[in-house]
Amino acid sequence: MREKCGVFGIYSQQGRNDSYCAAMSYMGLMALQHRGQEACGIAVNRTRELYFHKNQGLVNEVFNDEIISKLTGQMAIGHVHYSTVGGSRKENAQPLVLNYAKGSLAIAHNGSIINAQELKREYEQTGAIYQTTSDTEIIAYTIARQRIAAGSIEKAVLAAMRIIKGAYSLILLSPNKFIAARDPLGMRPLCMGRKDDGSVVVASESCALDAVGAEFWRDIEPGEVIVIENGELRSDKSLCGNLSKLCIFEYIYFARPDSVISGQLVNDSRRIAGRMLAKSFPVDADIVIDVPDSGTPSALGYAEESGIAFEQGFGKNRYVGRTFIRPDQLSREGAVRLKLNPMRKYIEGKRVIMVDDSVVRGTTMGIIIKMLRDIGAKEVHLRISSPPFLWPCYYGTDVSGIDQLISKNYNIKELCKIFNADSLAFLKLEDLQNIIPNAQGDNLGFCKACFTGEYPVM
């Protein structure tokens, strides 16, 4: 398994048949680019038919004005892709568009289906032929099979949700319906908003709503299915339960800092984590620096709580992708020096506290600390604003084996030696819940399996 993706969709109440929805989707996907950098795509409906364009690459590489102008329709869905199941292949780009006995369907998916291989083998026994290696195709097949007996596409989606297991936020188009759905545990975020012209927008994060000028409306509830048809929105909550397990890592690393998820501003969560680190693990030092960008709010929080000056320790090349979500280990290591450049003026001769959001494989940490040592850092104290990553994630994160988790295989003293750090401390597990003081929602809970090994669904 790989890492997360991002989904975006819009339904125009104006009955438009121009490229407005595609253009809004382009803007929304640009705002969600951090969630996936391997591929992207947009699908629209036009005269009860579905049209799409997708390819490998960043959003601004795959689309241009000419392509957008041809994607006309009243509804659109989009996707930014990083491999979940199946690897980085052109055919795995989404939205996935297929024709079946009852018509056509476009689907965009964020998450990972843990019983995908079981379902795949079952469908193969009845003659299924696959075009991709993605678990999204398994979702689409499941919906298509259920649609044969179901009275509507939304009933087929609900039936499929009783079969597939795992984490998923879905946006679908049929020729005349716009559908959004979230898994019954709400493990991946999904929210919706409204524009002044009445358009309804659905996205993985609220930052995408902001990007298209939509006002945040509410989060889609775990297990909820939203259907928009002929301008009317209806909600089915028959699969909504009494338990929620939103991925806590959204607040630590995945989401953009300006996104609000379940009522909690992500930036505030990261800043609170830094303050807790400073309280629990103080150290005498001259400056606090961040590993940009997701480590920046926590570093600011650490500096505020400790009273030690914050300095921007690294210049960042923002044209290099996030190293955690690169598809292979070699390119992840090679990207570090291209991406980060330490500032000698602030580092040389100083005792440095460096704050980062997490340590997963640990591949880059030693390289970064060596860069600081090379320009004259006197001491380097490493502070991590999340607990040790000890267990693999089966819900759409690029960590599928314990052998990849450096904190599982080495203790703090050993990690200090491996990283060449003077000291190392992680956020306490018991403090994790306290980074989300403003989170709201009925029976709102969080998946912390990567830290605890307690998996909500298997």
Q: Please give the pLDDT value at position 47.
A: 77
pLDDT band at 2 (very low <50, low <70, confident <90, very high): very low
In a domain, residue 456? The reply is no
Are 226 and 292 in a shared domain?
Answer: no
Q: Please check the confidence at residue 397 and state whether its pLDDT lies above 80.
A: no
Are 382 and 337 in a shared domain?
Answer: yes
> Taking the CB of residue 320, how many other CB atoms lie within 10 A of it?
14
Domain count, the chain: 2
pLDDT band at 400 (very low <50, low <70, confident <90, very high): low
Q: Please give the pLDDT value at position 101.
A: 86
Are 172 and 211 in a shared domain?
Answer: yes
Q: What is the mean pLDDT of residues 39-57?
A: 93
In a domain, residue 118? The reply is yes
Are 125 and 52 in a shared domain?
Answer: yes
Residue type, 208: A
In a domain, residue 251? The reply is no
Whole domain around residue 413: which residue ranges?
265-440
Distance of alpha carbon 239 from the chain centroid = 23
In a domain, residue 453? The reply is no
Q: What is the mean pLDDT of residues 49-65?
A: 95
Are 69 and 185 in a shared domain?
Answer: yes
Are 154 and 55 in a shared domain?
Answer: yes
Are 402 and 333 in a shared domain?
Answer: yes
Q: pLDDT for 161-205, tens place per residue? A: 999 999 999 999 998 999 999 999 999 999 999 999 999 999 999
Q: Please check the confidence at residue 323 and state whether its pLDDT lies above 50.
A: no
User: Any idea which of 45-54, 395-404, 440-449 has the lowest mean pLDDT?
Assistant: 395-404
pLDDT band at 131 (very low <50, low <70, confident <90, very high): confident
In a domain, residue 78? The reply is yes
Q: Please give the pLDDT value at position 85.
A: 46
Average pLDDT, the chain: 91
Q: What is the mean pLDDT of residues 145-159?
A: 95
In a domain, residue 259? The reply is no
Q: What is the mean pLDDT of residues 439-452?
A: 89
Q: Please check the confidence at residue 436 and state whether its pLDDT lies above 90.
A: yes
Q: Please give the pLDDT value at position 133.
A: 84
Tell me what percent of the residues of the chain surpass a pLDDT of 70: 94
CA distance 65 to 206: 25
CATH of the domain at 378: 3.40.50.2020
Are 219 and 70 in a shared domain?
Answer: yes
In a domain, residue 124? The reply is yes
CATH of the domain at 158: 3.60.20.10
Q: What is the CA radius of gyration of the chain?
A: 22
Q: Please check the confidence at residue 94 and state whether its pLDDT lies above 50.
A: yes
Specify the DSSP element, H or E, that contains 170. Answer: strand 166-174
Are 193 and 80 in a shared domain?
Answer: yes
Q: What is the 3-state secondary structure (H, E, C) of 180-209?
A: EEECCCCCCCCEEEECCCCCEEEECCHHHH
Which structure tokens are listed for 293? 């960008």
CA distance 347 to 137: 50
Residues acting as catalytic residues: 5
Are 194 and 309 in a shared domain?
Answer: no
Are 103 and 52 in a shared domain?
Answer: yes
Q: Please give the pLDDT value at position 361.
A: 87
Q: Please give the pLDDT value at position 130.
A: 85
Q: Please give the pLDDT value at position 334.
A: 64
Q: pLDDT for 277-301, tens place per residue? A: 999 999 999 999 999 988 999 999 9
pLDDT band at 320 (very low <50, low <70, confident <90, very high): low
Are 220 and 322 in a shared domain?
Answer: no
pLDDT band at 324 (very low <50, low <70, confident <90, very high): very low
In a domain, residue 447? The reply is no
Residue type, 121: R
Q: Please give the pLDDT value at position 88.
A: 59
